Amino acid sequence: MTLTELEKLISAKKPIHLSGIGGVSMRALAELLLDMGACIQGSDRERSPFTDRLEQLGARIFIGQRESNVEGAAAVIRTAAVLDQNPEIIAARRLGLPVVERGQAWGLLMGRYGHSVCIAGTHGKTSTTSMVATFAQSAGLDPTVMVGGELSSIGGGTLRIGKRDLFVAEACEYKNSYHSFSPTIAVILNIDRDHLDFFSDTDDIIASFRHFASLVPADGIVIANRDDPNTMRAVEGLNRRVMTFGLLPGADVTAQNIVCDKGFYSFDVVSSGSLWCRLALSVPGEHNLSNALAAAACAICLNVPPQAFADGIAAYRGVGRRFESKGKYHGALLFDDYAHHPSEIEATLKAARSMEPARVICIFQPHTYSRTISLREEFAQALSHADVCVITDIYASREINTAGINGHYLSELIPGAVNVAGFSEARQFIEQNARAGDIIFSMGAGDVWRIWDGFPAE
């Protein structure tokens, strides 16, 4: 499908069916299409506040996925988790309907914008996309934004609809969905081993990111992490302009005069050897220093004034499920975090440690069986940065437990780790063990955040 064909469906009010419409990226896509005047319908496995909102905006929602849902539709857009065996896809093929991947749909819509900043990387995509969105608004650029978390600066959702000059988008590598994007500025934050249910090995992942970087036009820019060897391999010899960021010598955008105050960093942003601005972060952790340098590189490419950038980043307070405060309990600080890969877990726990707590307690929910198996040793090492580690059962997501494993598969490698049967037992553990000065996390990409539902936090 081309952009012209999609726009014709929209103008003719032909129903477009979104399979998996309640997902983060899919619901944002549905909202943008609705704003364009499209006739939107879609399905999801269960009702949620997000499907309710889409109904209020005019979408027709089906709960459960059946062949009959797509009858009368002119096209189907599906998320990566909706496979060919899904009854809706089977019906769409039988009816001869075009089936468009979510990434393809976003890529088509990006073609409507003057500039598209697409932010990719194994870790830090949501936070960095949110930083770019925040400073772009502060600088008066009126961006359209698609981000993978709830961002307060765009109204608490995952989508902001602005003018057609600038599109800022989170770009996910899973199933190469970002290969359908149309970046004019492509950002690579880092490349790590992940999604090994799809990628064969690290070289395969690096090749995927290299292809993403090659999507920028001849006059486009690739922004790459100088500190990450895999990222530098991905852009080596690339026939595109490459701007690097990081702390290693030779980075085009770097940090100097770094000060860390209980986990919160301030530093000079230096571009091509010259002071560009002084930055003070309102979110903790060295990983956010790196994210801010990537955002600074974006700002420089977009010709944003240094002070407008600094003001925007100072106003950035984080995004939902990224070091998100859940209050206090018995003097302990409570947080929820989306970290579900060993590198992310380690970065978050180190950031917590830099805040000088009495103890760091982590309630971790492993995400997918394949990731737990392929990165088992790395998970154990990362979780050792917590003083106390509590492991819940594994969140299956899109997978079936063919290996017959559970939380014990991971916890047996972590000295002193505790297993809990469910969230009520996890809440009990917190109530019985929280002490003044502790930092306590719920952590994972599944539904571990539900621990805090009804929890008596202050």
C-alpha count within 13 angstroms, C-beta hemisphere, residue 382 = 23
d(Cα 333, Cα 439) in Å, to the nearest integer? Answer: 5
Residues β-bridged to residue 337: 443
Catalytic residue of the set 88, 101, 125, 175: 125
Q: Pairing relation of β-strands 274-280 and 221-225? A: unpaired
Which three-class secondary structure state does DSSP give residue 225? strand
Look up 175 and say whether it is catalytic: no
Contact 18, 42 (CB under 8 A): yes
Contact 172, 125 (CB under 8 A): yes
Tokens of 44: 């999801």
Please name which of 90, 52, 55 lies closest in space to residue 71, comparing C-alpha atoms: 90
Could you please report the per-residue DSSP string of 195-255? -TTT--SHHHHHHHHHHHHHTS-TT-EEEEETT-HHHHHHHTT-SSEEEEESSSTT-SEEE
Tokens of 264: 């919160």
CB contact set of 222 (below 8 Å; sequence gap of 6+): 185, 186, 187, 188, 213, 216, 235, 238, 240, 241, 242, 243
Tokens of 111: 């073609």
**Residue that has been written with the tokens 């979104």 in this structure:** 18
Q: 21: alpha, beta or left, given left = phi > 0 and alpha = psi -120 to 50?
A: alpha
CA distances from 387 to 133, 329, 344, 350 (A): 35, 18, 17, 12
CA distances from 281 to 135, 169, 260, 325 (A): 13, 22, 10, 16
Tokens of 92: 């769409």
Catalytic residue of the set 31, 101, 150, 170: 170
Look up 126 and say whether it is catalytic: yes
Packed helices 102-110 and 24-35: angle between N→C axes, nearest 10 degrees: 40
Catalytic residue of the set 79, 122, 126, 254: 126
- In 85-153, which residue ranges form alpha helices assigned H by DSSP? 87-95, 102-110, 125-138
Look up 244 and say whether it is catalytic: no
Contact 142, 161 (CB under 8 A): no
Annotated catalytic residues are 125-126, 170
